[in-house]
């Protein structure tokens, strides 16, 4: 028999069981502040993807203070909120449950139960609020940040204590099962990506005929190549086109002349919707030498120092333009194929790990910012098959990689479905619409 329900008075919650209460957060939790004086605590914690995780206090990565004395000491059962930059970041998960003693930046708001409550239940509840984007309508100011004085007025629902335990315990088990299924799909995606890379490497470096006669290329890191192949410097095969030094004042919000910036080229995909900026026809005339055409290869030249996965290549196709004109910004480069060159073959070849090893020998920049100069890239030695064979290899890889990408897409869709299912399970149980 279904239990009696009543209106909670909270728009994003709707109905709750008859015996449940509604309270302001401040009647259930206090803000917790305890500075790390004399560095009494050194277990550095961070809020990451909705979880409080340990972080190496000696790490050089990220922005860290000169001293951790101003950090907040938190304990098991505390709930942490990251309520800064609500205006610009609407995707991050902003709440987490602390499971151990440690320190966390005081820029976050930490709350601690002021009466007998079961914090894991409230962690799931505010997580559900987070997923419903409740916090984004509460902030104010230029950065749309919030502090405890804003948060204290948030309305929370309060089941009986025993039911809080039952719900949280059930959700721990259920969410763990869903997370395992997500992890399995993610593992299969990584295996498919590795398989795809192996197919690309084999085809672009050895050709499609497993019985072909091989010869020494004369280049140690390339090794043997098919007998009819040559090797040449990249500069003999591809011309370089650099980006235009646009001023921020040049950019407008819409138009037919889109500027391709480094954020628009990622994971070998053209992401036109990411931070889109455009230029007027007058500026486009000035930047004419940086205009892109189909059949050219985009690549990124700047990223995190020492991390090769920021070097993405992308072959521009007719359908990418869709009536628009593209112009290169700085930090993004373009290769233009010369005569006797199939751009699609070299788009695949530039993904080979051995070639990336060579290119990144010449990486420059600071500890956090790596740069690839065209002078060193141009020195890279590349395989040079006959043109007809380049085209055959590219056509083969288009087909094989397309099949693998379809499988990856199916796995990604399963992950999204599981994530949505997890959100709905948490919401249904923490609001009492389904009973444990």
Kindly report, residue by residue over 101-152, the tens digit of the pLDDT.
999 999 999 999 988 999 999 999 999 999 988 888 776 655 578 889 999 9
So what's the pLDDT on residue 40? 86
| Between 120 and 303, the higher pLDDT residue | 120
Q: What is the pLDDT of residue 312?
A: 73
First to last CA, the chain: 13
Whether the CB-CB separation of 169 and 134 falls below 8 Å is answered with no
> Between vectors from CA 38 to CA 32 and to CA 41, what angle results, nearest 5°?
60
14-18, 41-45, 261-265, 383-387: range with lowest mean pLDDT: 261-265
pLDDT reading at 221 higher than 90:
no
The yes/no answer on whether domain 5-159 falls in CATH 3.40.50.720 is no
Residue 249, CA atoms < 13 Å, CB-side half-sphere: 0
Is the predicted pLDDT of residue 338 greater than 90, yes or no? yes
CATH architecture of 189-410: Alpha-Beta Complex (3.90)
Question: For residue 104, how many other CB atoms are within 10 A of its CB?
Answer: 25
Q: Is the pLDDT of residue 71 over 90?
A: yes
What is the location of CATH 3.90.220.20 in the chain? 5-159, 189-410
Chain length of the chain: 436
The pLDDT score that the predictor gives to residue 310 is 58
Residue whose entry in the numeric block shows the structure tokens 């056509």:
395
Distance CA 43, CA 56 (A): 8
Residue 60 has pLDDT above 70, yes or no: no
d(CA 375, CA 377): 6
CA distance 380 to 376: 7
Return the structure tokens found at 160.
């009986």
- Percent of the chain past pLDDT 90, that is, above it, reads 62
Residue 241: phi and psi, rounded to 5, are -120, 125
Cα–Cα distance for residue pair 107/118, rounded to 1 Å: 25
pLDDT tens for residues 311-334?
677 888 888 888 889 999 888 888
pLDDT in tens, 276-290: 899 999 999 999 999
Q: Which residues contact 291 (CB under 8 A, 6 or more apart)?
A: 284, 325, 326, 327, 328
Average pLDDT, the chain: 89
Q: What is the mean pLDDT of residues 427-435?
A: 96
Give the number of other Cβ atoms within 10 Å of residue 4's Cβ.
9
Model's pTM, two decimal places?
0.83
Pick 58 or 23 by higher pLDDT: 23
91 phi and psi, to 5 degrees?
-115, -30
Q: Is the dihedral of CA 196, 198, 201, 206 positive or negative?
A: negative
353 vs 362: CA distance, rounded Å: 15
Cα–Cα distance between 177 and 182 in angstroms, integer?
A: 9
Query: What average pLDDT does this structure show over 386-413?
Result: 97
The pLDDT of residue 269: 80
Burial of 3 (0-12, 13-18, 19+ CB in 10 A): exposed
Please provide residue 215's backbone torsions phi and psi, each rounded to the nearest 5 degrees: -140, 165
């Amino acid at each position: 028999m279904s239990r009696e329900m009543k209106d909670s008075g909270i728009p994003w919650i709707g109905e709750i069981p008859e015996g449940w209460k509604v309270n302001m957060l401040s009647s259930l939790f206090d803000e917790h502040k305890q500075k790390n004086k004399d560095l009494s605590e050194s277990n550095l914690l961070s809020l990451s993807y909705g979880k409080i995780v340990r972080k190496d206090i000696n790490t050089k990565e990220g922005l860290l203070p000169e001293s951790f004395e101003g950090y907040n000491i938190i304990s098991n059962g505390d709930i942490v909120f990251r309520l800064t930059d609500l205006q610009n970041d609407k995707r991050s998960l902003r709440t987490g449950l602390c499971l151990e003693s440690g320190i966390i930046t005081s820029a976050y708001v930490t709350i601690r139960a002021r009466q007998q409550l079961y914090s894991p239940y409230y962690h799931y509840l505010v997580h559900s609020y987070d997923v419903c984007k409740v916090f984004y309508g509460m902030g104010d100011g230029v950065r749309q940040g919030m502090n405890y004085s804003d948060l204290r007025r948030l309305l929370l629902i309060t089941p009986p204590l025993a039911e809080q335990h039952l719900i949280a315990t059930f959700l721990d088990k259920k969410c763990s099962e869903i997370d395992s299924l997500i992890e399995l799909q993610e593992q299969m995606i990584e295996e498919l990506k590795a398989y795809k890379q192996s197919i690309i490497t084999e085809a672009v470096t050895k050709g499609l005929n497993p019985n072909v006669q091989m010869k020494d290329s004369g280049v140690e890191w390339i090794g043997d190549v098919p007998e009819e192949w040559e090797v040449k410097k990249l500069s003999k095969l591809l011309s370089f086109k650099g980006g235009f030094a646009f001023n921020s004042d040049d950019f407008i919000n819409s138009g037919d002349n889109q500027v391709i910036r480094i954020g628009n080229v990622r994971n070998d995909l053209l992401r036109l919707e990411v931070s889109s900026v455009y230029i007027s026809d007058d500026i486009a005339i000035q930047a004419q030498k940086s205009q892109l055409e189909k059949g050219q290869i985009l690549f990124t030249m700047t990223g995190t120092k020492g991390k090769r996965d920021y070097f993405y290549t992308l072959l521009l196709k007719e359908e990418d333009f869709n009536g628009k004109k593209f112009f290169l910004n700085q930090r993004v480069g373009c290769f233009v194929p010369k005569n006797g060159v199939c751009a699609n073959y070299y788009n695949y070849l530039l993904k080979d790990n051995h070639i990336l090893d060579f290119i990144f020998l010449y990486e420059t920049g600071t500890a956090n910012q790596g740069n690839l100069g065209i002078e060193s890239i141009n020195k890279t030695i590349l395989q040079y098959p006959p043109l007809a064979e380049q085209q055959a290899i590219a056509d083969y890889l288009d087909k094989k990689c397309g099949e693998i990408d379809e499988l990856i897409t199916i796995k990604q869709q399963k992950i999204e479905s599981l994530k949505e299912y997890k959100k709905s399970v948490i919401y249904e149980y923490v609001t009492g619409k389904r009973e444990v």
